[in-house]
Amino acid sequence: MTRAILPGAKLGVLGSGQLGRMFAMAARRMGYLVHTFSPDTDTPTGQVADIEVTASYDDLEAVRAFAQGVEVVTFEFENIPATTVDAVTEFAPVRPSGTALHTAQHRIREKTFLARSGFPVTPFRHIHTGAELRAGLAALGLPCVLKTAGFGYDGKGQRLIKSAIETDEAFASLAGREAILEAFVDFEREVSVVCARGADGATAHYGVIENQHERHILDCSIAPARVSPALAQQATEIAASILEQLDVVGVLCVEFFLTQDEKLFVNEIAPRPHNSGHFTIDACVTSQFEQQVRAVCGLPLGATEQLRPAAMANLLGDLWQQGAPDWLRACAAPNVKLHLYGKHEARPGRKMGHLTALADTTAEALRIVRAARAVLTSRA
C-alpha cells in the first residue's frame, strides 16, 4: 500500500508554466510546500512556489539535489528528458510514472500504444524517409496530416497534405526529424475527458468537455459537452481504460475527434492537467489541480461533481497587442472568473490566462465568457 504524503510535505514539480502554477496554488492551499525546477526564473510556477530551482534539465546533479529535497515529484508538461526522470527516481517517486511520460511525449509511441491496446485511433504510418512518406500517402489516401513525432503542441509541427505534389515540400519541412503520418479525420468537433487515478487504483473523471479551436490553439471549452449520454459513457470508459493501461497515478487528459456519425478517435493523451479542464477550478467540487495533488500524494480522490454549467475562454497574447486589456470591464460580469498566469511577455498565440463563466446552461455560459473576453480590447 502506498504511503500517504500528508500536508506539510514538500512536493516537486518539473516544469514551471501555468499548469505548475495552478498545481502549486492548490497544493499550498492544502498545506503543502512546493519546489519547482526548470531552466527559467521568475516563472508562473516559481512566483507562487516556496522554492524555485533554475537549472537545465540536463544538469543531472542539480536534478538529483532537487529530488532529495522533496517527497514526490510530478510534472506539468511532457517534454522532460527521460534521463531527468531517471535521475529523480533515484531519490523520490515520480507520479505519473516515467513510463507514462515516455509514451505520451512521442506521437509514434503514443499511437502505437493506443493501437496495440485496442483504442480507436486513425490509421497512421511511421515516417523516416521520403519514400516512406510517399508509400504512406498511397496507403492512407489523401488528405493526410504529417506531424513531427516529438515536441508538438498547439498545432506546432503539423502539416496537412492535400495533394501528391505537396509531398516533397512536406518532407523537407521535417528537416530530418522523425514523423508520423495520420489519415485525415473529417471530425465534427473535438472533445476531451480529464480524469484521475489514485495510488489505490480508484478513478474519477469530469465528464466530456467540448473544445473549440482557433489556429490549432484551444479557444473555448464547454462543460458538460453537448453529446449523447451513450457517447459520454463511451468516452469516459475509454479514458478510464487508458489510465489503467498506463498505470497512471495522477491526472490525465484524453483528447478525441468526434465524427458526425458519433464515432470517437483518440487524438492525443496528456498525463497531466489540461487546458480544457481549467473550468474545474470554479465549477467543480474538486479542481483538476487539487485532484493532481491528491493523487500524487496518495490521498483519496475528491468528488468531481460539477456545480453549474461552465465555459472557459483562453486569453492569448494577441489581446495585449494594442495595450493592456481592460480588466475592469471583463470583471464587471459577476459570473466571470479571471485567471492570469504571471507571464511577463505577451506574444501572439501565447497563453496568458483564461476566463471562466458559470451559468444555467452551457450556451449561456459560452455567450457570457465570449462577451467578457470581447470587451477586454474594446476602447469604447
Does residue 3 sit within a domain? no
Closest CA to 277 of 15, 22, 12: 22
Would you say the C-alpha torsion 233, 237, 239, 243 has a positive or negative sign? positive
* Mean pLDDT, rounded, for 54-66: 98
Number of domains in the chain: 3
| Those residues with Cβ within 8 angstroms of residue 240's Cβ, 6 or more apart along the chain or in another chain | 195, 203, 205
Burial class of 305 by CB neighbour count within 10 A (0 to 12, 13 to 18, 19+) = exposed
Q: Are residues 150 and 58 in the same domain?
A: no
Cα 244 to Cα 252: distance, rounded to the nearest angstrom: 11
pLDDT higher at 150 or 292: 292
Q: Return the pLDDT at 1.
A: 63
Q: Are residues 170 and 142 in the same domain?
A: yes
Length of the chain: 380
C-beta separation of 167 from 133 below 8 A: yes
* Mean pLDDT, rounded, for 26-38: 98
Q: Return the pLDDT at 131.
A: 93
Q: Are residues 195 and 282 in the same domain?
A: yes
Does residue 2 sit within a domain? no
Q: Are residues 272 and 331 in the same domain?
A: yes
Does residue 116 sit within a domain? no
* Mean pLDDT, rounded, for 191-209: 97
Q: Are residues 197 and 333 in the same domain?
A: yes
Does pLDDT of 152 surpass 90? no
| Those residues with Cβ within 8 angstroms of residue 312's Cβ, 6 or more apart along the chain or in another chain | 220, 221, 223, 276, 278, 279, 354, 355, 356, 357, 369
* Mean pLDDT, rounded, for 367-380: 87
C-beta separation of 290 from 26 below 8 A: yes
Cα 211 to Cα 213: distance, rounded to the nearest angstrom: 7
Does pLDDT of 380 surpass 50? no
C-beta separation of 42 from 308 below 8 A: no
Residue 374 is given by DSSP the state H
Q: Are residues 53 and 191 in the same domain?
A: no
CATH number of the domain residue 139 falls in? 3.30.1490.20
C-beta separation of 247 from 99 below 8 A: yes
> How many secondary structure helices (H) and strands (E) does the chain include?
12, 16
Does residue 1 sit within a domain? no
Task: Report residue 276 as a C-alpha cell.
Answer: 480544457
Q: Return the pLDDT at 78.
A: 87
Does pLDDT of 319 surpass 70? yes
Last residue of a domain, one of 157, 183, 209: 183
Does residue 230 sit within a domain? yes
Closest CA to 357 of 287, 319, 307, 309: 309
C-beta separation of 87 from 60 below 8 A: yes
Does residue 86 sit within a domain? yes
CA 159 to each of CA 123, 142, 144, 290: distance values in angstroms, whole numbers, following the listed order: 16, 13, 8, 36
CATH number of the domain residue 37 falls in? 3.40.50.20
Last residue of a domain, one of 135, 165, 183: 183
Does pLDDT of 378 surpass 90? no
The residue range of the domain holding 71 is 10-94
Cα 27 to Cα 45: distance, rounded to the nearest angstrom: 12
Q: Return the pLDDT at 215.
A: 87
Please write the tens of the pLDDT for every residue from 11-30. 999 999 999 999 999 999 99
DSSP 226-241: S--HHHHHHHHHHHHH
Please write the tens of the pLDDT for every residue from 323-342. 899 999 989 999 999 999 99
Does pLDDT of 360 surpass 50? yes
Q: Are residues 127 and 23 in the same domain?
A: no
Does pLDDT of 65 surpass 50? yes
Mean pLDDT of the chain: 95
Q: Are residues 195 and 338 in the same domain?
A: yes
CATH number of the domain residue 306 falls in? 3.30.470.20
Does pLDDT of 379 surpass 60? no
Q: Are residues 192 and 284 in the same domain?
A: yes
Please write the tens of the pLDDT for every residue from 220-273. 999 999 999 999 999 999 999 999 999 999 999 999 999 999 999 999 999 999
Does residue 111 sit within a domain? no
For residue 153, what pLDDT band results from cuts at 50, 70 and 90? Answer: low
